[in-house]
Structure 1
Amino acid sequence: MDLMKTPSPEEGKKVMPGLHRRHFLKYLGAGASLAAIASFAACNKDDDNDNNIGDGVSLGSGDIAVLNYAYALEQLEAAFYTQVIASQFAGMTATEVSFFTDIRNHEIGHREFFKAALSGNAIPALEVDFSKVDFGKRDSVLATAKAFEDLGVSAYNGAGRFISATEAGKTYLGLAGKIVSVEARHAAYIRDLISNGSFANAEVIDANGLEMSKTPAQVFAIAGGFIKTKINTNTLPA
């Protein structure tokens, strides 16, 4: 399929049958309860609903906007790897199937974690457009996977500064750190599949040995080409 919605939670359960809400926090090593996170999110939702000004799906404001931003990217990645496994490219090895399945499961776990944490503040399932990806060809799949993984790492690195200094914000930041480290492992694996030893080249690491980051605007300029659902990004930090 060229146009598709991200897999439903029910589909996620089929992929990871033992994974549900209380396991997301255990899986990510979180110290705060999901109820506390969801409660904080609800309390910080704008009462006057000004976030809906503008076109497209609103991400909300403050920490909610940043979390929905991450949730949108995780939806995109989960949908992509679900399709990679569903329509495997010619010559995919058993090892590649195993690793791509692991990555798919990680991304579904990330997606469902954000959905549960955001609760009623979560944006809806996004419709994505992978019409530019030839899932039957290894080069096309790996090039897209590389773009998504590098983008995901730079997105988390760029958005961390916008999380509030509240106790809940510190919890969010800690969780984001755990997720971005997993995304970086994915990126390294994909890069080495394409060109062995390229996992930490100058495309992603600066002269100081630091991972590069991107602003939300830079990220959506790239990711937006694969998201059919219109998203109002006006409330994201500039």
Structure 2
Amino acid sequence: MKKTLTQISDSSDSLMLSKVNRRYFLRSAGVAATTGAFLLGACTEQDLMSDDTVDLGSGDIGILNYAYALEQLEAAFYTQVMMTPYLNMTDMEKWILTDIRDHEIVHREFFKKALGDKAIKGLMPNFSQIDFQSRTSVLGAAKLFEDTGVAAYNGAGKLIKDVNYLLVAGKIVSVEARHASAIADLINPNALEFANGQINEMGLEHAYSPSVILGGVAPFIMDKVSGKNLPM
């Protein structure tokens, strides 16, 4: 790679944080209190399912590809949400969901650039289970993706060997956690149990292994993704 991971992280993180600071995303009292497209069209799952298995790889590169796959899914989802807004989406909701989309695109492009020629291909999402015209369906899917993303980073952190990679993962998961809180607040504004579903019985965020996460997101990805060579 022409740039070190730290250099890429700094430039990507600056872009990401500039968006956060520009709009005080999830820090202002107002937000805290309120909180190509991938249309599948007439295509069926059989039409789009690839016969090739995408192997994420091994070691730290495998973990980065794992994160890249999840960020691809989230970026594709929010891109679709904003291209076909659900019925009666408010200006506040558009503002929040647009910011989340922009963050996810930054995350996706960061991993793509950091991985270089070791990056997996662009994955084909399967959003056939989501009704993009329904607020309930869209926000329910958003909560699933965000909670899954946080649990994925938390679970993969202990598998990363390079401290620079770990630093980047820590920065990104903090943003993903704010996304999860914002979506939870959109679903249930001002709820006392805003962390419901995100926190375990010990008061800590969930942390799941790559095998659990990949199994959970498999219905939303047309490609077969294998993490068999990831560190355990």
Matched, 1:233 2:230: no
Distance 2:13 2:101 in 1: 18
Q: Which amino acid aligns with 2:215?
A: A
- Preserved contact between residue 216 and residue 237 of structure 1 (Cα < 8 Å): no
Q: How many residues align?
A: 189
Q: Deviating runs (4+, > 4 A) in structure 1?
A: none
Instruction: State the TM-score, normalizing by the size of structure 1.
Output: 0.76
Map 1:83-162; keep pairs closer than 5 Å: 83-162=80-159
Structure 2 residue aligned with 1:200: 195
Distance 2:86 2:16 in 1: 31
- Preserved contact between residue 187 and residue 199 of structure 1 (Cα < 8 Å): no
Distance 1:63 1:120 in 2: 15
- Preserved contact between residue 142 and residue 194 of structure 1 (Cα < 8 Å): yes
Tell me the CA shift for residue 124 of structure 1: 0.6
- For structure 2, which runs of at least 5 residues remain unmatched after alignment? 1-7, 18-51
Map 1:33-52; keep pairs closer than 5 Å: none
Structure 1 residue aligned with 2:24: none
SS at match of 1:128: coil
Q: Map Cα deviations across residues 72-128 of structure 1 (whole Å, 9 max, x no partner).
A: 000000000000000000000011111110000000000000000000100010001
Q: Which amino acid aligns with 2:72?
A: Q
Q: Which amino acid aligns with 1:236?
A: L
Structure 2 residue aligned with 1:63: 60
How large is the RMSD of aligned CA atoms in angstroms?
A: 1.7
Q: Map Cα deviations across residues 50-80 of structure 1 (whole Å, 9 max, x no partner).
A: xxxxx61121110000000000000000000
Matched, 1:212 2:206: yes
Tell me the CA shift for residue 217 of structure 1: 0.9
Q: Which amino acid aligns with 1:26?
A: S
